[in-house]
């Protein structure tokens, strides 16, 4: 009997709306940070829908990205 087919492990994704709730800034700020390469780049799910890899967002927060944005905005 052949081994079962292994499906790739899917990475958890997070929406822009959820990111803004977690870190406390607006969608406009999120778009600016992405454009300026100061935030992880999104994954395009469709023509109009973006999401971010949860692992990358958490790493950005853990590495002080949020603190850096808050410091610069003062």
What are the 10-residue block averages of pLDDT along the chain, 74 residues in total?
69 96 94 95 95 97 87 69
Starting at the edge strand found earlier in the chain, the sheet holding 50-53 runs 13-14, 50-53, 43-44
- pTM for the predicted model, two decimal places: 0.80
Cα–Cα distance measured from residue 74 to residue 70, given in angstroms and rounded to the nearest whole number: 7
Q: What is the CATH number of domain 13-73?
A: 1.10.1660
Return the pLDDT at 40: 97
Domain boundaries, the chain: 13-73
Return the pLDDT at 27: 95
Which residues 6+ apart lie within 8 Å of 55 measured at CB? 11, 12
Return the pLDDT at 2: 61
């Amino acid at each position: 009997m052949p081994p079962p087919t292994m499906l790739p492990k899917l990475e958890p994704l997070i929406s822009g709306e959820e990111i803004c709730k977690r870190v406390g800034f607006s969608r406009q700020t999120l778009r600016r940070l992405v454009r300026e390469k100061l935030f992880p780049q999104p994954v395009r799910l469709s023509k109009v829908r973006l999401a971010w890899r949860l692992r990358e967002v958490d790493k950005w927060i853990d590495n002080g990205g949020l603190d850096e944005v808050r410091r610069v905005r003062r």
